[in-house]
Structure 1
Amino acid sequence: MIRTKGRACTGKRRHDTEEQAEEHRRRLIANGAVRLTAYRCRNQACRGWHVGHLPKPRH
């Protein structure tokens, strides 16, 4: 389960570098995932990189 309330990153895959997160994002996209981004975690206990979905576009 992924919990993001309060900026927690419990259950998300942590990457040490932006490059590792970008490689993971590219693999997910190659397997059919869409609208993903790599981002720096704001959780002070983590401070790693994660891959997540972009917000849905507003119309």
Structure 2
Amino acid sequence: METNKKRLVACPNCKKLSEFSSGNAFRPFCSERCKMIDLGLWASEQYAIPVEIKPEDLTDESFDH
């Protein structure tokens, strides 16, 4: 007999527990609202992935704007 345990995770935004399964279209978020809040933070550049800028990354093309 196989039991199906629900996997609950904390929503990255509000920390409310929500089911992490294909039945939750917003996973790992608890709702569309929390998902959109997170997207808005990325879009407004409040989240960023740090990358070290190397001198060879800076070309004359990057200053032609």
The alignment's TM-score, normalised by the length of structure 1, stands at: 0.31
Q: Rg bigger for which structure?
A: 2
Structure with the greater relative contact order (CA < 8 A, sep ≥ 6): 1 or 2? 1
The alignment's TM-score, normalised by the length of structure 2, stands at: 0.28
